């Protein structure tokens, strides 16, 4: 369910399992489902495109029974085309690839749709919104990275707000409705400005999965921040 609404659009909270307890992953995924999250994100890193290694398709397959909503796979990898089918078969509902890693981006987006998933493109902090000019109408989602990808727990890059607004403006100009997702340093203290800029899907890692608060308390804090 949404955590709120802005300009007539539902605002979704998407926990990232990168910050979950890997020894208790099924229960942490189920906890996100139980508090009301409609999306959950799986950050896939290859140790090459970004300096970290994370989840393969077997992890997607293992957590799929614990979550009823959208399993959002964010491919932070150098060769996303080689992995699309494996993650779709494992249970992904949505797949996002990086503009910087996709040599033939239009073909990649087409392939994601052919596999029965919705498709998104992620932009790193230094990648301009103008790089989406020739692909925006084909996208179901645009992901603005508000930190440099690779590790959780980083601070939000404030310049990302202008970038979110630029994506909203581009979508409005093209009369195209797509999810604007924001990932990195998102927390209750800054989500009002992120949503005001035009975001509709907020990734929360350490602000959702934490040793100091429960997922239910985190959900309530995000809801209250948009009230």
- pLDDT number for residue 83: 97
Sheet holding 118-123, edge to edge: 4-6, 9-15, 201-204, 179-183, 141-145, 118-123, 94-98, 70-76, 39-45
Question: Is 138 one of the annotated binding-site residues?
Answer: no
Catalytic annotation present for 172 = no
Look up the CATH number of the domain holding residue 58.
3.20.20.70
Q: pLDDT of 64-109, one tens digit each?
A: 999 999 999 999 999 999 999 999 999 999 999 999 999 999 999 9
- pLDDT number for residue 106: 97
| pLDDT over threshold 90, residue 150 | no
DSSP string over 136-194: GGG-SEEEEESS-TT-SSPPP-TTHHHHHHHHHHHHHHHT---EEEEESS--TTTHHHH
Which of 131, 106, 109, 127 shows the shortest CA–CA distance to 118? 109
Q: pLDDT of 195-226, one tens digit each?
A: 999 999 999 999 999 999 999 999 999 999 99
The number of folded domains in the chain is: 1
State which H helix or E strand residue 11 sits in. Answer: strand 9-15
Q: What is the extent of the structural domain holding 85?
A: 4-226
Contact 225, 2 (CB under 8 A): no
Which of 193, 81, 76, 220 shows the shortest CA–CA distance to 145? 76
- Crossing angle for the helix pair 25-35 and 215-226, to the nearest 10 degrees: 40
Contact 17, 63 (CB under 8 A): yes
% of residues, the chain, pLDDT over 90: 94
Q: Which is catalytic among the residues 28, 43, 46, 140?
A: 43
2: Cα separation from own chain's centroid: 15
Q: Which is catalytic among the residues 28, 46, 72, 183?
A: 183
Q: pLDDT of 174-187, one tens digit each?
A: 999 999 999 999 99
Question: Is 152 one of the annotated binding-site residues?
Answer: yes
Question: Is 33 one of the annotated binding-site residues?
Answer: no
113: Cα separation from own chain's centroid: 17
Q: How far is it, in rounded angstroms, from Cα 102 to Cα 97? A: 7
The pair phi, psi for residue 179, each rounded to 5°, is -70, 135
Q: How confident is the model at residue 133 (pLDDT cuts 50, 70, 90)?
A: very high
CB count in 10 Å sphere of residue 5: 12
- pLDDT number for residue 152: 67
Catalytic annotation present for 138 = no
Question: Is 183 one of the annotated binding-site residues?
Answer: yes
């Amino acid at each position: 369910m949404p955590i709120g609404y802005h300009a007539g659009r539902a605002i979704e909270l998407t926990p990232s399992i990168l910050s979950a307890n890997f020894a208790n992953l099924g229960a942490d995924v189920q906890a996100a489902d139980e508090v009301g999250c409609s999306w959950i994100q799986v950050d896939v890193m290859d140790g090459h495109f970004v300096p970290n290694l994370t989840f393969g398709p077997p992890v997607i397959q293992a957590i799929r029974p614990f979550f009823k909503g959208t399993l959002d796979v964010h491919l932070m990898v150098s060769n996303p085309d080689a992995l699309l089918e494996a993650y779709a078969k494992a249970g992904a509902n949505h797949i996002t690839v990086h503009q910087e890693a996709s040599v033939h981006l239009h073909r990649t987006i087409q392939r994601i749709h052919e596999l029965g998933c919705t498709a998104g493109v992620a932009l790193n902090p230094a990648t301009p919104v103008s790089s989406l000019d020739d692909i925006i109408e084909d996208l179901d989602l645009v992901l603005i990275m508000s930190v440099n990808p690779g590790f959780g727990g980083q601070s939000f890059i404030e310049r990302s707000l202008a970038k979110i607004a630029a994506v909203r403006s581009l979508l409005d100009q093209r009369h195209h409705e797509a999810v604007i997702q924001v990932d990195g340093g998102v927390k209750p203290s800054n989500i009002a400005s992120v949503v005001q800029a035009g975001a509709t899907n907020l990734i929360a890692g350490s602000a959702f999965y934490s040793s100091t608060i429960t997922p239910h308390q985190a959900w309530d804090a995000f809801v209250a921040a948009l009230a």
